[in-house]
């Protein structure tokens, strides 16, 4: 990784974009396994992290702030914050997403 790390801060909850229906149970299980909770709340999701979860901004800052979020057990996800919508986009390790879902949504991961 070529970015330098910025300010570290605690994180307890985030409002995220609403995930596709197929992903919600998978992501809820990931959160549960790592001590957190992911709930659907109307037009967005609320991600609740366990105590001790921290995030570090990645620098240099580009159009949108980017962070590494480390759960208290060491599990790592990536966040991109959309200033306009005030919602976060969360990205999870590919190995944690079932193969069938990865295949169905691979167009979103292509560069």
pLDDT tens for 24-82 read: 999 999 999 999 999 999 999 999 999 999 999 888 777 778 999 999 999 999 999 99
Q: For residues 54 and 28, is the Cβ–Cβ distance under 8 A?
A: no
Confidence of residue 110 (pLDDT cuts 50, 70, 90): very low
More confident residue, 52 or 109: 52
| 20, two tokens | 């596709």
pLDDT at 7: 82
> Distance (Å, rounded) from C-alpha 54 to C-alpha 50?
10
Domain that holds residue 54: 4-108
Query: What DSSP element (H or E) covers 5?
Result: strand 4-10
| 83, two tokens | 């200033």
pLDDT at position 3 over 70: no
Domain count, the chain: 1
- 3-class SS of residue 57: strand
């Amino acid at each position: 990784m070529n970015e330098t790390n910025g300010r570290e801060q605690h994180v307890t909850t985030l409002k995220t974009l609403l995930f596709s229906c197929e992903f919600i149970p998978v992501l809820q299980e990931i959160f549960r396994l790592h001590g957190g909770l992911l709930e659907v709340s109307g037009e967005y999701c609320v991600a609740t992290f366990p105590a001790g979860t921290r995030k570090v901004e990645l620098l240099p800052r580009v159009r949108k702030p980017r962070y590494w979020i480390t759960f208290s057990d060491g599990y790592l996800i990536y966040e991109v914050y959309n200033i306009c919508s005030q919602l976060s986009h969360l990205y999870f390790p590919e190995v944690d997403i079932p193969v069938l879902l990865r295949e169905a949504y691979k167009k979103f991961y292509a560069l």
